[in-house]
């Protein structure tokens, strides 16, 4: 077996490989494209393609694909062989610069939200040279963006790249004001922590709700849940350990820096954290991580559940999106600095994020909205549906002092003068930080905790980047026109921003009902509890203005994405409802009827043997079971009917009907079936229970 350093990135066409295999000229033009976004000319592309093809074939690849993130939520690939027929029934290995740069998958089978009329079904993929190509299952995968022929983005990566560009443009204006002539580019970095469940595959295959929907639609609570907290950071079981080891190796080969893996709070729940990297690469890596988790789990007789809420009453899974801004010189702009000047600059970026989160809270909430995540946000485990920010006591005290022009109560009591004074050292100890906050400052980065475990991180980062770009743009407009002393202008800007947006800051317990009340009633923050509410935020005129101004989305793209997301919501819940009806009728009712029949037969036999026996247990159970059987049958019919007659003139109305009518009826059917489970003999129950699933690995 090879060593970890040998293994790491061994299937990636990364900088090391490029340097070794490309001529110096070609290498440097490619680097200019990667680092500075310079256009790539075809001769360079041809040379890169030839080297990439040789390398891929030497490493066992036979096919290549443009790999992209369509709006379906998973990644897509269309494999082409490297081999092209040649005369005399020979074949030649061929992979040109054109093959590398663009592809033409048939776009008609990917969602476009009406962007593409069917007669114009063509779309094209375009190489993203900033994300390295890699080999997966004998296929050279080329990370690409996916657009329609009209140039509209049909994927999640294009807007993300545009938002990174927008943030770069605006952040550079601020850095210029601070005199950083050396900085050429600003990027965002992301480290997404991924939560997941592992369950036994044989049990999984017996649950059609898991197979069709990724979550359990029925299931009475097990006698033991997560209350003992004995799983969190507990010893990892051998089977899970073997899975984690293989997963690490597979990820390392692809250059994904999987770093820590530990058990989470819920039984059979785990977490994987990679080391952060540039956001678009982090997004590609996270998609790959999810795919490989599922694949490796199968090899160990396990199934990896990425759904946000696989089990009712047990913690769900999220994806903590750690996010920061850095210069091409590697300086983290969200890190408090050593000198007064660096501190002032840090505060500008910090308050830009505060302003962005306050003004575009709806967009942030929207970026994490999905049918699955609705079960999580607001339950007692994930952040609430209200977006707020946690800064910690020390930083809050600094901002308070600036806001009120009063002395900062640090180690020594003094007035803080920006540009002249050094900020106090913030305690970087993150052990007691607030886990309930949706958007928390953790020393030198922000952690956005709303994203669902199954979601791509692209939308969330696109919205964060765009909102911060807008805040920085307004700051730059103001500071560039500053008359007089720059430090005073800076001070006023920071003070005014804190005054205006401090309502978004909250260091307390986000799970507390009193907070939700205060947030909504006193502070006027948005409480968007469900996906249909949250998705509508993107149609808000101010949000459309901001996103189009920074060229992150066109208005047509925004509207088409809105339709797709609403449609996804409706489809997801519809499949869940139909699965419930099916399981209730074909599995649960027959089981309960059989158990009821068994009891009736026993009752009759006992009565026949001795008419004086009371048989009160059997009588009571038969009555209760008969009632439940009828009630389940009725509830299934009501649910089926509400799906079949789903009203609504358009997708928005249909989504609200689903939310307001169907979800309640699903809940009603579930309650009855879960009750039936508790009064039916275990040997009669048709599929594995919560206890079996949660403690079965
Ligand atoms: P935690 O206590 O939350 O587990 P970690 O230090 O393990 O904190 O970091 C969590 C995630 O944040 C990791 O994926 C890590 O790579 C990422 N991270 C750390 N620093 C940054 C940064 N400057 N920008 C973006 N992500 C970061
Ligand atoms: Mg963490």
pLDDT digits (tens, 9 = 90+) for 522-533: 999 999 999 999
Q: How far apart are CA 307 and CA 210, in angstroms?
A: 10
Mean of the pLDDT values across residues 532-540? 97
Nearest to 113 by CA among 154, 151, 52: 154
Is the pLDDT confidence value at 409 over 70? no
pLDDT digits (tens, 9 = 90+) for 656-694: 999 999 999 999 999 999 999 999 999 999 999 999 999
Q: What pTM, to 2 d.p., does this model score?
A: 0.93
Q: How far apart are CA 30 and CA 33, in angstroms?
A: 5
Question: What does the buried/exposed string (b/e) look like for 524-555 if buried means 16 or more CB atoms within 10 Å of the residue's CB?
Answer: ebbbbbbbbbbbbbbeeeebbebbeebebbbe
Phi and psi angles of residue 229, each rounded to the nearest 5 degrees, phi first? 55, 30
Query: End-to-end alpha-carbon separation of the chain, Å?
Result: 28
When the pLDDT of each residue in the chain is averaged and rounded to a whole number, the result is: 90
Q: How far apart are CA 149 and CA 162, in angstroms?
A: 18
Is the pLDDT confidence value at 265 over 80? no
pLDDT digits (tens, 9 = 90+) for 540-573: 999 999 999 999 999 999 999 999 999 999 999 9
pLDDT digits (tens, 9 = 90+) for 410-422: 555 555 556 555 5
pLDDT digits (tens, 9 = 90+) for 111-149: 776 665 444 456 788 898 989 999 999 999 999 988 887
Mean of the pLDDT values across residues 3-9? 86
Q: How confident is the model at residue 103 (pLDDT cuts 50, 70, 90)?
A: confident
Question: What does the buried/exposed string (b/e) look like for 641-678 if buried means 16 or more CB atoms within 10 Å of the residue's CB?
Answer: ebbeebeeeebbebbbbbbebbbebbebbbebbbebbe
Give residue 140 CA to ligand 1 midpoint distance, Å. Answer: 30
Q: Nearest ligand, CA of residue 433?
A: 1
Share of the chain above pLDDT 90, in %: 70
Give residue 430 CA to ligand 2 midpoint distance, Å. Answer: 10
Mean of the pLDDT values across residues 208-227? 90
Give residue 162 CA to ligand 2 midpoint distance, Å. Answer: 28
pLDDT at 431: 39
pLDDT at 115: 63
Q: Nearest ligand, CA of residue 323?
A: 1
Tell me which of 418-432, 511-525, 598-612 is least confident. 418-432
Tell me which of 84-88, 411-415, 501-505, 630-634 is least confident. 411-415
Give residue 103 CA to ligand 1 midpoint distance, Å. Answer: 35
Q: How confident is the model at residue 287 (pLDDT cuts 50, 70, 90)?
A: very high
More confident residue, 82 or 111: 82
Report which protein residue has its CA nearest ligand 1's atom 11.
Answer: 191
Name all residues whose Cβ lies below 6 A of ligand 1: 189-191, 193, 273-276, 322-324, 332, 430, 444-445
pLDDT at 107: 63
Q: How far apart are CA 670 and CA 666, in angstroms?
A: 6
Mean pLDDT comparison of 32-36, 162-166, 266-270, 341-345, highest-scoring range: 162-166
Index of the ligand 1 atom closest to the CA of residue 260: 7
Report which protein residue has its CA nearest ligand 1's atom 24.
Answer: 324
Q: How confident is the model at residue 343 (pLDDT cuts 50, 70, 90)?
A: confident
């Amino acid at each position: 077996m090879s060593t970890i350093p040998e293994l790491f990135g061994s299937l990636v066409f990364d900088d090391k490989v490029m340097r070794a295999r490309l001529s110096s000229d070609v290498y440097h033009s490619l680097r200019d494209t990667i680092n500075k976004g310079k256009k790539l000319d075809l001769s360079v592309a041809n040379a890169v393609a030839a080297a990439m093809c040789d390398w891929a074939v030497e490493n066992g690849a036979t096919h290549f694909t443009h790999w992209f993130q369509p709006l379906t939520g998973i990644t897509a690939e269309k494999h082409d062989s490297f081999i092209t027929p040649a005369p005399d029934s020979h074949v030649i290995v061929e992979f040109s610069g054109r093959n590398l740069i663009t592809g033409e998958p048939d776009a008609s089978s990917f969602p476009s939200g009406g962007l593409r009329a069917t007669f114009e079904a063509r779309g094209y993929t375009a190489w993203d040279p900033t994300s390295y190509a890699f080999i997966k299952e004998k296929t050279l995968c080329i990370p690409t963006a996916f657009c329609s022929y009209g140039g509209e983005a049909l994927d999640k990566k294009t807007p993300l790249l545009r938002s990174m560009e927008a943030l770069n443009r605006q952040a550079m204006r601020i850095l210029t004001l601070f005199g950083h002539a050396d900085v050429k580019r600003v990027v965002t970095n992301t480290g997404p922590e991924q939560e997941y469940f592992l369950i036994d595959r044989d049990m999984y295959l017996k649950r059609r709700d898991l197979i069709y929907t990724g979550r359990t639609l029925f299931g009475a609570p097990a006698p033991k849940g997560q209350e003992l907290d004995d799983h969190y950071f507990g010893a990892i079981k051998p089977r899970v350990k073997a899975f984690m080891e293989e997963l690490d190796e597979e990820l390392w080969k692809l250059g994904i820096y999987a770093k820590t893996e530990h058990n989470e709070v819920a039984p059979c729940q785990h977490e994987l954290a990679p080391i952060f990297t540039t956001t678009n690469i982090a997004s590609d890596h996270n998609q790959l991580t999810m795919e490989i988790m599922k694949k490796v789990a199968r090899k160990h007789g396990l199934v990896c559940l990425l759904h946000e809420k696989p089990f009712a009453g047990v913690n769900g899974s999220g994806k903590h999106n750690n996010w920061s801004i850095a210069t091409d010189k590697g300086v983290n702009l969200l890190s408090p600095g050593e000198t007064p000047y660096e501190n002032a600059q840090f505060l500008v970026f910090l308050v830009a994020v505060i302003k962005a989160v306050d003004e575009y809270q709806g967009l942030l909430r929207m970026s994490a909205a999905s049918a699955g995540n609705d079960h999580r946000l607001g339950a007692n485990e994930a952040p609430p549906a209200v977006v707020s920010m946690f800064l910690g006591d020390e930083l809050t005290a600094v901002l308070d002092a600036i806001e009120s022009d009063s002395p900062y109560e640090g180690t020594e009591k003094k007035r803080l003068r920006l540009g002249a004074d050094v900020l106090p050292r913030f305690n970087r100890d993150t052990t007691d930080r607030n886990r309930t906050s949706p958007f928390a400052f953790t020393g030198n980065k922000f952690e956005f905790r709303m994203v669902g475990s199954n979601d791509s991180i692209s939308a969330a980062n696109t919205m964060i980047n765009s909102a911060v770009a807008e805040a920085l743009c307004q700051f730059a407009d103001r500071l560039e026109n500053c008359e007089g002393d720059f430090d005073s202008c800076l001070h006023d800007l920071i003070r005014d921003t804190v005054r205006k947006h401090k309502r978004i800051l909250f260091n307390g317990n986000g799970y507390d009902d009193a907070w939700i009340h205060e947030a909504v009633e006193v502070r006027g923050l948005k409480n968007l509890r469900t996906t249909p509410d949250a998705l509508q935020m993107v149609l808000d005129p101010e949000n459309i203005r901001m996103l189009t101004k920074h060229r992150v989305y066109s208005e047509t793209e925004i509207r088409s994405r809105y339709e797709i997301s609403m449609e996804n919501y409706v489809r997801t819940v519809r499949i869940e409802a139909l699965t419930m009806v099916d399981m209730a009728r074909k599995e649960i009712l027959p089981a309960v009827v059989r158990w009821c029949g068994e009891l009736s037969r026993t009752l009759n036999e006992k009565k026949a043997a001795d008419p004086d026996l009371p048989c009160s247990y059997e009588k009571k159970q038969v009555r209760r079971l008969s009632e439940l059987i009828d009630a389940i049958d009725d509830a299934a019919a009501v649910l089926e009917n509400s799906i079949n007659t789903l009203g609504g003139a358009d997708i928005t109305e249909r989504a609200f009907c689903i939310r307001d009518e169907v979800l309640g009826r699903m809940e009603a059917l579930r309650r009855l079936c879960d009750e039936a489970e508790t009064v039916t003999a275990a040997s009669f129950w048709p599929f594995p229970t919560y206890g079996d699933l949660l403690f079965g690995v």
